[in-house]
Structure formats: C-alpha cells, structure tokens
Amino acid sequence: MRVTGESKPQGRSQGFWIGLFCANIGAIVAWRVTDAINSPTGTVLLALTMLLLIPIVKAGERSGCNSPAMRIYNRRVLIASFGYVLGLGTAISLWRNYDLARPAIFAISMLPVLPTFGMIWAMARYLIEEEDEYLRYRTTMAALVGLGGVLAIGIFWGFLEMFELVPHIWSWWVLPVWALGLAIAQLWMKVRAE
Amino acid sequence: MKNQLKVLRAMRDWSQQDLAERLGVSRQSVNAIETGKYDPSLPLAFKIAEVFEQTIEEIFQRD
C-alpha cells in the first residue's frame, strides 16, 4: 500500500535512504562549518532531513527483517528523533534571542535532553520486549561495542584535551558516538551472519 | 557446536523461514544457529528438538 503519490522512492532499499540521510547530514554540517548557511537555516534543513527517517523505517518494515519489537523500537526512536530536533531548534532559538533567567535556561536545555532520554528508554524497552533471543543477543553485543567505542574515544580525547592538544567537546556527543558504534556493529554482525 | 539443523530441515523440505515460523523466531536466528554462529539457549534447543521430534543430543553435538 502506497503512502504517498510518489512512485519512485517507494521501492528504494533501506540502504538508499540511510545513505541519503547521511549525505544530507554531512552537507548541512559542511555548510554550517563553512558559514554557507546560518544557524536557523541549518536547524530547518536538519528538521527536514529528519523526515528521511520515515522512509528509512518504512523500508526496514517492508524488507520483513524486523521483529515486532524492532518495529516498535523504530517508531519510538522516530518520534524521539523528531522531538529532539524540534526541542533543540526551539531551545537554541530561545537562548539566542531572549535574555533568559537561569531556571528558564535549565528548562529549555531539557527540551533536547528529554527526547534523548526517550531514545535510551526505547532501547531499554526493546531489549526487554524482544522475544527473539538471537536478535536480542545481536543488539546487546552491538550496544557493548558502541559502549567500548565511547569509552575508548572519550578517554583518548579527554587526555588530549587535558594536555591542551585538542579543543573541548560537549559531553552529549557520547550518545551519537555510541549510536554510531552500535550501528556499525549491527551492520557488521548482519553482514557476517548472512 | 555442530548441529544437524540443515540436514533435518532439508529432509522435511523446509526453508529457513518455514523452520523460523515453527520455532517462533526470526529467519536470521535459524541461519545463525544453522551456520554455528550462535548457540541457542536451552529453552530454544528444547523447542528445536520438539519440532524435529528428536533429542537435543541428536541435533546438537560438541565440536
């Protein structure tokens, strides 16, 4: 059943959509770093790019490789991701345009934090709800690989930072780095299994 | 651990998907067990034995 009138993208594989998503993120980051676009434009483009998560999830469901628990997890992460982009954009706009008191700054800083907690909760629920022991094992192993990556990179960067060789980075980077490690490990195990 | 899953499946002319449906697991699970990349838990091993009407020892052997 087609969701939209566009016929071409419907048959695309999940890999295509993931590639397009990564390319868009890369382009937006490159434009922001080179000041080709301003911050609000970057936020809007990022929000639009997040819409690509919908075909990513749909293509995954069409492939029939996802368990019921994985489908629920994907939808939860999708909702949390939209909340995150919306929360982050709103928080940055408010912070830059208004002279806020500290309690208000605390409140707006929670806007991107809470959806991120939602993603962590979604992963915990997935591990509880997944009835297929092999898929649960695979995700657990991938999560441990992601954790190992975060610890290794965090310690490596932390000491370089302590000796003033590299600039300071914000600690929220642990989640994207962990998620990247998780995704790479999942992909590697999937390829190895097939 | 070695196993006879592929042979037993072939004898019944079942695909990996057929077996997965009978076991209530994913096709990836059957593939991983069959190729020795994953050793099933005891409850799943009992279920596999039940589906093939054999003992666990007849299906799974040490390397």
Reported ipTM: 0.92
pLDDT value, residue A64 = 63
Q: Where are the domains of chain A?
A: 12-65, 67-130, 132-194
Inter-CA distances, A76 with A19, A98, A163, A180, Å: 21, 32, 41, 18
Distance between B40 CA and the closest CA of chain A, angstroms: 8
Residues from B contacting A (CB-CB < 8 Å) are 24-26, 28-29, 31-33, 35, 37-38, 40-41, 44
Rounded CA separation A60/A54 (Å): 10
Identify which of A134, A190, A194 has the shortest CB distance to residue B25: A134
Strands B60-61 and B2-3: antiparallel
Closest CA to A186 of A120, A140, A142, A148: A142
Q: Token match 């195990």: residue?
A: A189
According to DSSP, the residues that pair with B61 across neighbouring strands are B2
Identify from A61, A66, A134, A194 which residue to disrupt to test chain B contact, counting B C-beta atoms within 10 A and taking the largest count.
A134
pLDDT in tens, chain A (194 residues): 333 444 444 578 878 888 898 899 889 888 988 888 887 788 788 888 888 888 888 887 776 667 889 989 989 998 998 898 889 888 988 998 899 999 999 999 999 999 999 999 999 999 999 999 999 999 999 999 999 999 999 999 999 999 999 999 889 889 889 988 998 998 888 888 77
Q: Can you give the pLDDT at residue A6?
A: 40
Q: Do B38 and A137 touch (CB under 8 A)?
A: yes
Question: How far, rounded to the nearest angstrom, does the alpha carbon of residue A118 sit from its chain's CA centroid?
Answer: 12
Closest approach of A103 to chain B, Cα-based (Å)? 49
Angle separating helix axes A53-62 and A68-97, nearest 10 degrees: 180
A64: helix, coil or strand?
Answer: coil
CB contact under 8 A, B33 and A135: no
